[in-house]
Structure 1
Amino acid sequence: MPKKATARPTTPSINSPVESDIWRRITREVADDLAVDAIARDRAGKPPFDEGARLREAGLPALLTPPGPLGSGADWRTACAVIREIAAADGSIGELLGRHYALSWSARFFGTPEQADLLEIRAAGEQWLWAGSTEIPGAGTDPGTGTAPGISGADPGLTLTPAGEGHLLNGRRTLAAGVSVADRLVLGAVCTRTGDPLIVVVDPAHPGVTADPAHDRLGQRLTGAGSVGFDGVPVHPEQVLGAAPRDEYDVSPFASLAPLALRLALVHVGLGIAEGALAEARDASRAAPHAWPPAGTDGTGYEGRPDGDPYLLLAYGELVAAAHTAAAVVEPATEALARGLLVGRDLGAEERADIAVLVAAAEAVTSRSVLQVTTRVLELTQGTNAPADGPGFDRFWRNARVLTAQGSPVHRLRDIGDHYLNGTHPPLTLRR
């Protein structure tokens, strides 16, 4: 595996408004830096080694620190705001960071508090970037496709063969981000002796780990997507976070927040992509003349204002309204998940159900909004006819298409309807 950037010291935990302002400033600086060469990096489509180094240098990997011996780090609301702003500049890096934040809570979801404390201290101190997936192919499949959502039907999954006091990890997994740049992988695998699905932590620097980055993706080209192979990789007892229940109805409400945290992180990525597309299109529209007739009956009104085209104003009004609508639906979902994470293992099934419905609504509304915004922006900026070295508005549309294709809102909408009409709780599951 290629050598990753040197780890930086961890940043302090965030509690006060002043420190929150510091995070906002740091995030804005990183986003501005990523925006400068976003088009060139998207077209190159290389693994995000440089981008990961930028995140580490700013201290962003250690921002979302779960409650523990480190104190209370920045909460989920702050982390989602960071994801959203980074995604507005570069959707791929927003997804890389969003998946990292969701996976950084894995030890809290699946391990013991003591195990989580030790792992989090080291992860924060060394600015680890997390990647992986806690889904286990074949364990709780999607009734519509026969596979776990987001997992290819050809993905054979991973096995853990008992060896000595630990296990040997074998197999291959397809991951949506971080296959070449992650410092640690969180993975779901099945024990060959007991059949138990286990959640484990693996160091990708081991020689038995091979990463095969994906090439020529339609969008989200810089997430570091690809497949990772494991050939007899040792997994010691302390690397096993815990067992995932075979029956989804045995999953604890708190552990079932793991897929909800990931889904909400990706919602913020989508919202960031929409907002980034709108902001860049606005700048382009202000600078470009338009040939539409003036709106005023006396031949004035919009004359001399290239950004005063009445049809253009109508289009932007609709798109801004769509983005605001999505943001308004995402906000209560973010608040609810943040509260649920703070409750911890005492979280009840009723509370979890309310969170799941809010997250599902945020997904459904945001997926529609981001596709509407990025498609219309491409039309407004004449991106379909732009030269290869043009302004690159197509990247927002491509990123939105790939991101929203990772999960269909159909099942989410069905769960919302069932909950509203019949009072049925969405199932407690570790699947996305």
Structure 2
Amino acid sequence: MGLASPPFRPTSPSDRPGPGHAHWLRVAREVADDLATDTVAREQAGKAPFDEVSRLREAGLLTLLTPAGSGGGGADLTTVYAVVREIAAADGAIGQLLGCHYFLSYSARLLAEPALAARIEERSTAGEWCWGGAFARQEPPLPLARTSRGLVLNGRQSYTTGALVADRLAVCAVREDTGEPFAVLVDTAHRGVRIDDDTDAFGQRLAAGGSVEFDDVPVKADDVLGSLSADEDILSPRSALASPVGRLVSVQLCLGMAEGVLAEVREYIRTGHTPWQHPTWPVGTSHDPQVLTAYGELTVLTRSASALADQAMEGVQDLLAHGEDVTYDEYAETAALVAMAEAAASRAAQESTARALDIVGARSTSARLGFDGFWRNARAHTLHAPVTHRLRDVGDYVLNGAHPPFVLPS
């Protein structure tokens, strides 16, 4: 049974190769270094990250996935995942914001018909849109009703990533007449859209999350990206790819936060600030057995998760490249591999950000140093994306051959 078809990629006579992976990774590192200089101060200020989004826009990162001939960066998903990881290492909240933008904007290629996807991508690139939203159905559904004026969207979503700064929101709405869920694109400037900065999370504060109320917001035909039904009779091959593509964003976000805190701890220790410094050890070296053991364990944990993530990315890229030649069983195998990578990356992020405080010692309680921010960001994200269900999916697949369900990231 064929499951996956190639994602839509608009072509143009003027299309040309983009600058390449190395270029965009260098750009991401420059932006990450810039963000790292004032991460603690920005989080403590708690302002909506309009300036941060401007930095991403000016660096060309918001249009990274658009073909170069159409005015974008011409990057592929491998580059996008690397960029998210690099940004998350410096600022987990901005990494989440950017990763959400990439997944939701790319989902138009997977969910919408090719002609519609082309129109949306063209408008998004021209306006340098920042996308926010969420597709996971963890709240009461947003009703999408047909009226004499056409489709209208109502309801409230209690948390929406990027809501405070997004130009467009992509959300899951359910048709009242059929009960089928659809991905819907909404202009945040419409008068029927009300966004409240009412999120009081202890972590990921700069992910620009907030509640959104929709009051008779008109939904045009071009605003309906496609079905989000998990029913195999409705779920299209192209739409099915949205699950592993999106969940790998969460994987990279977790890995970025784990690698970021380990890098900060390494720098801190190398300056001689170890909690159990022996008087005979030279200042600026790291010889304490407890520090070495703890850091070694966390490094192994994070690099192991990274290796799993690489395997999962290769699997997803194969699905995207082989199209209709991919079987349902092959798709299920890749979905299970992504679930394994999620579980490993989540554990690496939680362990590294928590135990980093022990390695640094009592000094890690200083708000000025910002070590607590890594833990709070990682914990807030992993609570919204718990891996318990993913571990169950892996077990069910390995033991019983059950195909993992179609689950979108929260």
Give the stretch that moved more between structures: 160-169 or 36-45.
160-169
Do the aligned partners of 1:13 and 1:70 also contact (CA within 8 Å) in 2?
Answer: no
Task: State the partner residue of 1:123.
Answer: 124
Return the alpha-carbon distance in structure 2 between the equivalents of residues 282 and 85 of structure 1: 17
1:357-372 superposed matches below 5 A: 357-372=336-351
Do the aligned partners of 2:64 and 2:72 also contact (CA within 8 Å) in 1?
Answer: no
Tell me the SS of whatever aligns to 2:132: strand
Does residue 1:162 correspond to 2:146, yes or no?
A: yes
Return the alpha-carbon distance in structure 2 between the equivalents of residues 351 and 384 of structure 1: 49
Does residue 1:422 correspond to 2:400, yes or no?
A: yes
1:85-234 superposed matches below 5 A: 85-135=86-136, 137=137, 151=138, 155-164=139-148, 166-234=150-218
Return the alpha-carbon distance in structure 2 between the equivalents of residues 269 and 13 of structure 1: 31
Return the alpha-carbon distance in structure 1 between the equivalents of residues 92 and 60 of structure 2: 19
State the TM-score, normalizing by the size of structure 2. 0.89
Counterpart among 208, 226, 251 of residue 235 in structure 2: 251
Do the aligned partners of 1:162 and 1:168 also contact (CA within 8 Å) in 2?
Answer: yes
Q: Which has the higher contact order (CA 8 A, sep 6+)?
A: 2
Amino acid across the alignment from 1:272: G
Tell me the SS of whatever aligns to 2:171: strand
Task: State the partner residue of 2:377.
Answer: 399
Tell me the SS of whatever aligns to 1:232: strand
Q: How large is the RMSD of aligned CA atoms in angstroms? A: 2.6
Amino acid across the alignment from 1:366: A
Task: State the partner residue of 1:44.
Answer: 45
Give identity over the alignment, percent. 46
Return the alpha-carbon distance in structure 1 between the equivalents of residues 407 and 68 of structure 2: 24
Do the aligned partners of 2:340 and 2:390 also contact (CA within 8 Å) in 1?
Answer: yes
Do the aligned partners of 2:301 and 2:348 also contact (CA within 8 Å) in 1?
Answer: yes
CA distances 1:189-209 after superposition (whole Å, capped 9, x unpaired): 122333332222110110110
Return the alpha-carbon distance in structure 1 between the equivalents of residues 306 and 200 of structure 2: 31
Return the alpha-carbon distance in structure 1 between the equivalents of residues 317 and 66 of structure 2: 13
Q: Which runs of 5+ in 1 are unaligned?
A: 1-11, 138-150, 295-299
Return the alpha-carbon distance in structure 1 between the equivalents of residues 66 and 321 of structure 2: 12
Give the stretch that moved more between structures: 241-250 or 24-33.
241-250
Return the alpha-carbon distance in structure 2 between the equivalents of residues 185 and 27 of structure 1: 24
1:220-369 superposed matches below 5 A: 220-245=204-229, 247=231, 250-290=234-274, 291-293=276-278, 302-303=281-282, 305-344=284-323, 347-369=326-348
Tell me the SS of whatever aligns to 1:401: helix
CA offset at residue 318 of structure 1? Answer: 1.5
Tell me the SS of whatever aligns to 2:402: coil
Give the stretch that moved more between structures: 111-120 or 172-181.
172-181
CA distances 1:177-219 after superposition (whole Å, capped 9, x unpaired): 1111111111221223333322221101101101112343211
Equivalent pairs, count: 396
CA offset at residue 311 of structure 1? Answer: 2.6
Return the alpha-carbon distance in structure 2 between the equivalents of residues 376 and 391 of structure 1: 16
CA distances 1:50-90 after superposition (whole Å, capped 9, x unpaired): 11111111110111237997799311110000000000000
- Structure 1 residues 179, 261: CA separation in 2 closer, same or farther (over 3 Å shift)? same
- Structure 1 residues 49, 347: CA separation in 2 closer, same or farther (over 3 Å shift)? farther
- Structure 1 residues 371, 429: CA separation in 2 closer, same or farther (over 3 Å shift)? closer
Return the alpha-carbon distance in structure 2 between the equivalents of residues 183 and 127 of structure 1: 9
CA distances 1:218-276 after superposition (whole Å, capped 9, x unpaired): 11110011211111111112212233337356423431221322221011011000111
Q: Which runs of 5+ in 2 are unaligned?
A: 1-13
Do the aligned partners of 1:197 and 1:243 also contact (CA within 8 Å) in 2?
Answer: yes
